[in-house]
Amino acid sequence: MRLFLDTANIDHIRHGVELGVITGVTTNPSLVSKEGKVDYRELVKEICSVVPGPVSTEVLSQTASGMIAEAREVAKWADNVVVKIPASLEGLKATSVLSKENIRVNFTLCFSLNQALLAAAAGATFISPFVGRLDDIGEDGMRVVVDIVQFLDYYELPTQVIAASIRHAQHCVLAAKAGAHIATVPYSVLLQIIHHPLTDIGIKRFTDDWRNVMGETGILATRTESDPHELTN
Ligand code: E4P
């Protein structure tokens, strides 16, 4: 499972990419609004220049013709732009048109297998089931991811699943187990999932054991007597 960052914050994106694990980004109008009043075109272009893979930007129009016009424009901004189109009837119509023009679509705000099968039929590159928002209303969000992955595998369809609306570390575990191609995670979750208390305890114990015998001498400073060309204290 690949990891995307779900944010429009350029510092967080730069950090995620530096870590070498973030291969794409998803944004939405709410996430962009968190960055204040920005030049949207410039922001998207900057994100696209930093990120090695797909960067999803969402349309605001609610008619197919409006979505298509927006998508055609933003697709010119960078080669790795993907247009997020909502899983509405108008969105479906727009997706069918755009995919025939080889404009990559991320079919977003998806909450059911039926919406996903329509996305695949319309040629969407990505489908984004929103796990957390389904959990919020008492449904099993990850079940929808499992069902969509099984459906796409069974019919050998190329549409990729982005597990979205990921809220915590356990969502990541379940998305990976479900076989989602991608999980798009908030920056806070990215920082969370590297962390394990036993790792911290283990690092401290190894360091303490070493220091008890070797003192403050580091590994690079220990190869001295046998090879004079090696580092010394
Ligand atoms: C995905 O593409 C969306 O931007 C995002 O995951 C929505 O998450 P939320 O439900 O936490 O707002």
For residue 164 and ligand 1, the question of a CB distance below 6 A is answered with yes
pLDDT at res. 91 = 98
Residue pair 233/217 in contact by the 8 Å Cβ criterion: yes
Question: Model-level pTM greater than 0.85?
Answer: yes
pLDDT at res. 230 = 54
CA of 82 to the centre of ligand 1 (A): 16
- Residue 64 — very low, low, confident or very high, per pLDDT cuts 50/70/90? very high
Residue pair 15/186 in contact by the 8 Å Cβ criterion: no
For residue 128 and ligand 1, the question of a CB distance below 6 A is answered with yes
pLDDT at res. 225 = 55
For residue 133 and ligand 1, the question of a CB distance below 6 A is answered with yes
Looking up tokens 């008619």 gives 63
Atom of ligand 1 nearest to the CA of 27: 4
Atom of ligand 1 nearest to the CA of 84: 2
pLDDT at 59 over 90: yes
CA of 41 to the centre of ligand 1 (A): 21
Q: What is the pLDDT of residues 115-153, one digit of tens each?
A: 999 999 999 999 999 999 999 999 999 999 999 999 999
For residue 5 and ligand 1, the question of a CB distance below 6 A is answered with no
Give the type of residue at 133: R
Whole-angstrom distance, CA of residue 140 vs CA of residue 41 = 36
3-state helix/strand/coil string of the chain: CEEEEECCCHHHHHHHHHCCCEEEEECCHHHHHCCCCCCHHHHHHHHHHHCCCCEEEECCCCCHHHHHHHHHHHCCCCCCEEEEEECCHHHHHHHHHHHHCCCCEEEEEECCHHHHHHHHHHCCCEEEEEHHHHHHCCCCHHHHHHHHHHHHHHCCCCCEEEEECCCCHHHHHHHHHHCCCEEEECHHHHHHHCCCHHHHHHHHHHHHHHHHHHCCCCHHHCCCCCCCCCCCC
| Average pLDDT of the chain to the nearest whole number | 95
Q: What is the pLDDT of residues 180-233, one digit of tens each?
A: 999 999 999 999 999 999 999 999 999 999 999 999 888 887 555 555 555 544
Phi, psi of 113 (to 5 degrees): -65, -40
CA of 205 to the centre of ligand 1 (A): 39
Q: What is the pLDDT of residues 77-128, one digit of tens each?
A: 999 999 999 999 999 999 999 999 999 999 999 999 999 999 999 999 999 9
What percent of the chain clears pLDDT 70, i.e. is strictly above it?
95
39-64 mean pLDDT: 97
pLDDT at 50 over 90: yes
CA of 31 to the centre of ligand 1 (A): 8
Atom of ligand 1 nearest to the CA of 31: 4
pLDDT at res. 219 = 83
CA of 130 to the centre of ligand 1 (A): 7
For residue 168 and ligand 1, the question of a CB distance below 6 A is answered with no
Specify the residue with its C-alpha closest to ligand 1, atom 10.
165
Catalytically annotated residues: 84
159-179 mean pLDDT: 98
pLDDT at res. 233 = 46
